[in-house]
Amino acid sequence: MSFPSSLLTYVFFFDLVNKDFCEVDRIFCFQTFYNVIINELTSTAETRHGINPSTEEALPPVPLSTQEDVDKAVAAAQAAYPAWRDLTYDERAKYILRYADAIEANLAGIQDILMKEAGKPVQNATQELGFALMHLRQTAGLRLPEDVVEDSEERTATVRYVPIGVGVGIVPWNYPALLGLGKLDAAVLTGNTYIWKPSPYAPYTALKLGELAAKIFPPGVVQVLSGDESLGPLFTAHPSIGKISFTGSSATGKKVMAACAKTLKRVTLELGGNDASIVCDDVDVKQVVQKIGPFSFLHAGQICMEIKRLYVHEKIYDEFLAAMVEVVKTFKVGGAGDAEAFLGPVQNSMQYEKVQDMFSEISKQNWKVALGGDVCSTGKEKGYFFPPTIIDNPPENSRIVVEEPFGPIMPVLKWKDEEDVIRRANNTDMGLGASVWSSDVERAKKIATRLEAGSVWVNSHFELSPSVPFGGHKWSGIGMDWGIVGMKGWCNTQSMWVRKKF
Ligand code: NAD
């Protein structure tokens, strides 16, 4: 199966693994994992470990951070902040670029742990790290200009964007590298210090990336702490933290916001999605399914911004569904070690149970299955695998339409009337992404502008750039990461008034 061109653009970074980077720092051991506090690798009295979702084998121990570790890291971040803030943008950008080079020099080892902990087949891990490197490099080139609102003989009024102080990135398990680095670069470029809290399900890549950061950034500027589910609340409650940038589920996002309210922390929330995709009757079915297939099942459906409700015009519905099944059934299911695999496992046992529960609805609700459906059909004895599954036109109020499954199971639904399909697409608390497919681009744009989502695409889905903001409406989030908008999220706005004469 081939990837859409928008995804292939990231893949070339993988070739750079073989470049000679003798001048940059290297990590030699990918078997031991430490917290990174004040640029020191520290252990904790108790440890925990993750599970390789492809094999269900235990991964190495990782720290189980306590309040004491959090306090130490926050104090170090506070101490490092003034000097870091006072550097110029260009000076801070140099650190980020050097960090990107160091990651690239260690890419093979980092990719290996990412594949193991996240259950990513090689092409998927390559894309994530390639995009993360591009993110660091592009973001390092962005600047937040001051806006001069008034400049008269008497005075000037300028709007400036100043860093907040100590920021924390709380990250989920589906993109453990990209989502942490995509917060780190904007945070430190704008002059904040940054603490990275990875998911307990996928802390390994983040801890190694922290170890590399310790070789490059001044002490206290970038730190990484792993722990269990009690660690996040220690950060949201901490009075000396100014900003929490959170990516995860809407349910946890609401808790984060409530906790941050107590100390009036700034928050950015990147939350769940239930993206609708509307296919009009004038599309070239064969071409479009080649794109919609991967956009629906990439990373086994565990992407926030993935097609999760596919509305196909009734005139082409049967032809489309048949073509979609033909494409999706070529997607090989396999573990991190399977070079041919397109779909890896679901990342953890908690998510496996949630997705299994959704699969169990098939027989309970008598949903018509166009492809897959039988959990045992992957033939795997170990690992959290599911077959890619397409449900044929289930009722609009069924769980598979209303909920975000976050696994490789999706509904295809029929539509007839344009107003009605727009209403159905918007009839959700979620508002992350949405797309429209049509040969008539102007018609598709008109529909797209009426969709309630943070990103809307015409003849695409899940198209991203480090310079373009990314975030959700409604329960899919507050604020946005990435690009200039994302950088402003790491700043307080400051109005500066200057009287030219007394
Ligand atoms: P989750 O909400 O369970 O956990 C996310 C992070 O929050 C983890 O690091 C977790 O340890 C931490 N956490 C848990 N409880 C906390 C609390 N009370 N206070 C502070 N931190 C806490 O999400 P998940 O299961 O890891 O990820 C899957 C979800 O993330 C899906 O809903 C998916 O759509 C969403 N997601 C959104 C985006 C986006 O950019 N919008 C990107 C990826 C994933």
pLDDT digits (tens, 9 = 90+) for 116-134: 999 999 999 999 999 999 9
Summarize pLDDT for 471-480 with one digit per residue, the tens: 999 999 999 9
**Closest-lying ligand 1 atom to the alpha carbon of residue 304:** 34
Q: Are 410 and 325 in contact (CB under 8 A)?
A: no
| DSSP letter assigned to residue 481 | B
Q: Two tokens at 343?
A: 């779909």
- Across the range 93-99, mean pLDDT stands at 98
What span, in angstroms and rounded, lies between the C-alpha atoms of 209 and 454? 29
Ligand 1 centre to CA of 170 (Å) is 8
Q: Helix, strand, coil: what percent of the chain each, to 5?
A: 40, 20, 40
Q: Which residues pair with 245 in a beta bridge?
A: 169, 268
Q: Which of 496, 500, 498, 497 is nearest to 161 (CA)?
A: 496
**Closest-lying ligand 1 atom to the alpha carbon of residue 259:** 19
Summarize pLDDT for 255-301 with one digit per residue, the tens: 999 999 999 999 999 999 999 999 999 999 999 999 999 999 999 99
Summarize pLDDT for 418-462 with one digit per residue, the tens: 999 999 999 999 999 999 999 999 999 999 999 999 999 999 998
- Identify the weakest region by mean pLDDT among 3-7, 12-16, 330-334: 12-16
**Mean pLDDT for all residues in the chain:** 94
Q: Which of 453, 391, 398 is nearest to 422 (CA)?
A: 453
Ligand 1 centre to CA of 231 (Å) is 13
- Across the range 211-223, mean pLDDT stands at 97
| DSSP letter assigned to residue 487 | H
Q: Are 253 and 172 in contact (CB under 8 A)?
A: no
- Across the range 16-42, mean pLDDT stands at 74
| DSSP letter assigned to residue 381 | S
Q: Is 24 in the pocket of ligand 1 (CB under 6 A)?
A: no
Backbone angles phi, psi at 208, to 5 degrees: -70, -40
Q: Which residues pair with 449 in a beta bridge?
A: none
Q: Is 232 in the pocket of ligand 1 (CB under 6 A)?
A: yes
Residue 347 has pLDDT above 50, yes or no: yes
Confidence of residue 29 (pLDDT cuts 50, 70, 90): confident
**Closest-lying ligand 1 atom to the alpha carbon of residue 173:** 26
What's the predicted TM-score (pTM) here? 0.94
Q: Is 433 in the pocket of ligand 1 (CB under 6 A)?
A: no
The pLDDT assigned to 228 comes to 98
Confidence of residue 358 (pLDDT cuts 50, 70, 90): very high
Q: Which of 320, 340, 319 is nearest to 331 (CA)?
A: 340
Q: Which of 158, 161, 163 is nearest to 147 (CA)?
A: 158
The pLDDT assigned to 30 comes to 86
Residue 55 has pLDDT above 70, yes or no: yes
The pLDDT assigned to 26 comes to 77
Q: Which of 220, 231, 163 is nearest to 197 (CA)?
A: 231
What span, in angstroms and rounded, lies between the C-alpha atoms of 241 and 164? 9
Q: Are 474 and 483 in contact (CB under 8 A)?
A: no
Question: What residue ranges define each of the domains in the chain, with the CATH number in brackets?
Answer: 12-51+59-271+478-493 (3.40.605.10), 275-465 (3.40.309.10)
Backbone angles phi, psi at 346, to 5 degrees: -70, 150
Question: Percent of the chain beyond pLDDT 90?
Answer: 93
Helix (H, G, I), strand (E, B) or coil at 152: coil
Confidence of residue 5 (pLDDT cuts 50, 70, 90): very low
Q: Which of 104, 128, 211, 270 is catalytic?
A: 270
Helix (H, G, I), strand (E, B) or coil at 246: strand
The pLDDT assigned to 337 comes to 85
Helix (H, G, I), strand (E, B) or coil at 432: coil
Q: Is 241 in the pocket of ligand 1 (CB under 6 A)?
A: no
Q: Whose alpha carbon is nearest atom 18 of ligand 1?
A: 233
To 5 degrees, how large is the angle CA 473–CA 475–CA 480?
45
Residue 10 has pLDDT above 70, yes or no: no
The pLDDT assigned to 432 comes to 98
Ligand 1 centre to CA of 248 (Å) is 2
Query: Is 68 designated active site?
Result: no
Sheet of strand 243-247: strand arrangement = 40-42, 35-37, 222-224, 193-197, 166-170, 243-247, 266-270, 477-478
- Across the range 141-164, mean pLDDT stands at 97
What span, in angstroms and rounded, lies between the C-alpha atoms of 87 and 443? 49
Q: Two tokens at 430?
A: 């979620």
Q: Which of 241, 194, 181 is nearest to 221 (CA)?
A: 194
Ligand 1 centre to CA of 9 (Å) is 28
Q: Two tokens at 464?
A: 């991203």
What span, in angstroms and rounded, lies between the C-alpha atoms of 53 and 70? 29
Q: Which of 319, 270, 301 is nearest to 387 (CA)?
A: 301
Provide the terminal-to-terminal Cα distance of the chain, rounded to the nearest Å. 71
Q: Which of 187, 189, 178 is nearest to 242 (CA)?
A: 187
Ligand 1 centre to CA of 17 (Å) is 31
What span, in angstroms and rounded, lies between the C-alpha atoms of 415 and 297? 22
The pLDDT assigned to 314 comes to 98
Ligand 1 centre to CA of 414 (Å) is 32
Residue to substitute in 224, 226, 250, 252 for testing ligand 1 pocket (most ligand atoms within 8 angstroms of CB): 252
Helix (H, G, I), strand (E, B) or coil at 45: coil
Residue to substitute in 131, 178, 236, 304 for testing ligand 1 pocket (most ligand atoms within 8 angstroms of CB): 304
